A = this chain, B = another copy of it.
Amino acid sequence: MTGSRVLNRALRSKIMSASEAAALIPAGSNVGMSGFTGSGYPKEVPAALAERINALHADGFDFKISVWTGASTAPELDGALAAVDGIEMRLPYQSDPACRARINAGQMDYIDIHLSHVAQFVWFGFFGKLDVAVVEVAGVLEDGRLVPATSIGNNKTWLDQADKIILEVNNRINPAMEGMHDIYYGTALPPHRKPIPLVTPSDRIGEPYFRCDPSKIIGIVETHAYDRNSAFTPPDETSRLIAGHILEFLAHEVKKGRMPENLLPLQSGVGNTANAVMAGLEQGPFENLTAYTEVLQDGMLHLLKRGKMNFASATAFSLSPEAVDDFNRDVEFYRERVLLRPQEISNHPEVIRRLGVIAMNGMIEADIYGNVNSTHIRGSSIMNGIGGSGDFARNAYLSFFMTPSTAKNGQLSCIVPMVSHVDHTEHDVQVIVTEQGLADLRGLTPKQRAKVIIQNCSHPSYRPALQAYYERSLRESPGRHTPHMLNEAFSFIQSWKAEKAAMEV
């Protein structure tokens, strides 16, 4: 037991192998797992459970569970369980190819939820009983409290709400991370709720550890594994152009006096464009930045390192292997400048609106009136899910949605007459950005938005067709507030390739 991170002696008796732990999860149970954007997910129990399920299926037994998480996880969790058809229902967010394929084939149930809604809906009892929690932690203290890992997500809720708890204690996690977490225990059910006392991103309002009823712990698995640390791809030209438009716009807003010189707390979605914006900020004129976001990617660490950013609040890390190395080297530096919080706090409308966050998120497509689709391809297949984009977009000081102007090698326009699925309505979208340019929709009517979105954001090869749709709608639409020809709003997209080809002749 030397070196064990399970300091509580009584709990050491619960240490077991991953397959022993997996055997404790009953068929049909609702299982709350840790994990948020590829970090802090359990590394061994899900895979062991997948093996067990596979064997049972081979013997003709039914065995599925429902998997609730923070957000997306990794191949060892979502991938492994989906591959053996072990997931009955998944919530609230995923980005796994195997899950996605099963969901879109109609073989797996999926409920896509605002991340800020998840914890409270579980507390309200809207999803039924949580049977088991499987949570990765960095250690168990002598008094039984738990040291959180590289993401918080919904772990506090899972630990509180589950009947039974399985812990994965991962001793790969830098022990110096202890103290970087802020678990808020002031939540309550209405009518007993109180204001959340957070007024700047660096405010500590909670405790560095999870409370945990030791009598609920049925198994502890010791692991030694890395998070899914995806390689960092340097920003491509498209991302750099998008980032450039955003940075120019922010500078303009500061000049106009509509924003402080150090901006306002930044939220940034994951991916290439998000990293490009951060890279732009690294070169840019803004100092003393802060972040109030979900996920800390490489870009934000760089900003902290360079002294451009003073503080970052998030619920998870999502780092490249090199960034992990840097983080571990300078963990003392980062511990003064980073806090991880439960996702009901990182994404809380109350806090986001109070802080006046600047939100920047990716999208699949936007329509000419400013409605945004973040989740569905052709209205029917899910890509990932809405995640926290709605929590941020609705409550932000300023909300950006960004995408390359085309997808699939230019074969599809990401600016369309009418989006095939709406995640963010015209009421929630202030700025749309593509590599072509930026559309500032504030204070514009639907028709004014159409003009600026088509002109500034669409790809030139689709612009004439969009313009033609808009102009003909202006004449033929039954109403002229938001002109549309419902018969053609989608069929138009489908015939675009033909139209585009015709126009290029």
Chain A residues proximal to chain B, CB less than 8 Å: 89, 103-106, 109-114, 117, 121, 124-128, 189-191, 193-197, 199-200, 256-258, 260, 264-265, 348-350, 353-356, 371, 376-382, 386, 390, 394-395, 397, 418, 420-428, 430, 442-445, 447-448, 473-474, 477-484, 486-487, 489-491, 494
Contacts and interface: CB of A to CB of B under 8 A. Distances in A.
A127 B442 CA distance: 7
Given A106-B474, A260-B191, A349-B395, A427 B423 contact: yes
A59 B257 CA distance: 41
A354 B425 contact: no
Given A379-B484, A487-B490, 5 more contacts: A104-B479, A349-B353, A371-B422, A380-B482, A421-B482
Contact of A121 (B89, B386, B442): B442
Nearest to A264: B190
11 contacts: A106-B480, A114-B427, A114-B428, A191-B355, A193-B353, A195-B354, A379-B484, A380-B481, A486-B494, A487-B494, A490-B490
A301 B381 CA distance: 48
Contacts of A420: 484, 486
Contact of A480 (B348, B380, B418, B473): B380
A396 to B, nearest CB: 10
A490 B486 contact: yes
Contact of A425 (B103, B395, B423, B448): B423
A124 B426 CA distance: 19
A421 B442 CA distance: 20
A111 B356 contact: no
A125 B473 CA distance: 32
B386 A427 contact: yes
B195 A427 contact: no
Contacts of A200: 191
How many chain copies does the complex carry?
Answer: 2
Main secondary structure of the interface of A (DSSP, over half): loop
A140 to B, nearest CB: 32
Nearest to A422: B422
A480 B191 contact: no
Given A121-B442, A371-B422, A379-B489, A264 B105 contact: no
Contact of A481 (B104, B424, B490): B104
A89 B445 contact: yes
B481 A103 contact: yes
Given A395-B349, A490-B489, A481 B190 contact: no
A57 to B, nearest CB: 22
A81 to B, nearest CB: 17
A289 to B, nearest CB: 12
B491 A356 contact: no
A195 B193 contact: no
Contacts of A349: 349-350, 353, 394-395
B125 A258 contact: yes
Nearest to A90: B445
Contacts of A489: 379, 490
A376 B482 contact: yes
A236 to B, nearest CB: 28
Contacts of A442: 121, 126-127
B190 A194 contact: no
Nearest to A194: B199
A264 B124 CA distance: 13
